[in-house]
Amino acid sequence: MKSGCWRVKRCEFVFPDCRLQLEMEPFPNIGQQDQGEKENPMRELRIRKLCLNICVGESGDRLTRAAKVLEQLTGQTPVFSKARYTVRSFGIRRNEKIAVHCTVRGAKAEEILEKGLKEHIDLGIKYDPSIGIYGLDFYVVLGRPGFSIADKKRRTGCIGAKHRISKEEAMRWFQQKYDGIILPGK
């Protein structure tokens, strides 16, 4: 018999033989969704924020040019990141500006991500030889409706275990929404 919810359709007792005969049928639409029924909108995955990062590894002219690239791409003023400690072999000093990053939220984040995935060579920015070519990191933070209860200052709440996003769910979302290919890990 298949697993699921079943109900007794007809029951027959025969006392002299002590025989019990049950006819079972499955409950209609238990564990299955109707065609007209929709998914729970609170379980929908969405992009909370998109972080763009360019790490140049040195301060100066190259870093300001990288900031121009981010500003053209996002339309926001980027923020400079400083080195945490000195690394002599790389020529980096503590508190020296070495990277530039920007956080984008909302519809603009989805637009930039779609544009970046479809046109990974040409992001829609005209190439300027004086700026040059830079590597760009995309960090996508996923969330569900209701995640803001963990961020609020007063009466913070916890996100339940069933409402959290697992690694497999995030990978499935990426494959379905952007037709992405996930490479196997090391």
> Can you say how many angstroms the Cα of residue 68 is from the centroid of all Cα atoms in its chain?
27
Of 171, 170, 148, which Cα lies nearest the Cα of 159? Answer: 148
Domain of 161 in residue numbering reads as 41-178
Quick check: is 168 in a domain? Answer: yes
Give the pLDDT of residue 129: 75
Residue whose token pair is 């499935």: 172
If residue 42 lies in a helix (H) or strand (E), which one and from where to where? none
Quick check: is 66 in a domain? Answer: yes
Please tell me the total count of domains within the chain: 1
Helices and strands (DSSP H and E) totals, the chain: 3, 6
Quick check: is 138 in a domain? Answer: yes
Quick check: is 31 in a domain? Answer: no
CATH number at residue 150: 3.30.1440.10
Quick check: is 35 in a domain? Answer: no
Give the pLDDT of residue 116: 74
Quick check: is 109 in a domain? Answer: yes
Residue 106 half-sphere exposure, CB side, CA atoms within 13 Å? 2
**Secondary structure class of 64 (helix, strand, coil):** helix
Q: What angle do CA 6, 9, 14 make, to 5 degrees?
A: 115
Of 111, 124, 123, which Cα lies nearest the Cα of 178? Answer: 111
Give the pLDDT of residue 133: 72
Give the pLDDT of residue 44: 92
Quick check: is 19 in a domain? Answer: no
Tens of each residue's pLDDT in the chain, 186 residues: 455 555 555 555 555 555 555 555 565 655 555 566 788 889 999 999 999 999 888 888 889 988 998 898 889 999 999 999 998 998 889 999 999 999 999 999 999 888 876 665 555 667 777 766 777 888 999 999 999 999 999 999 999 999 999 999 999 998 998 888 888 877
Token pair, residue 125, equals 């920015």
Q: How far apart are CA 48 and CA 124, in angstroms?
A: 23
Quick check: is 28 in a domain? Answer: no
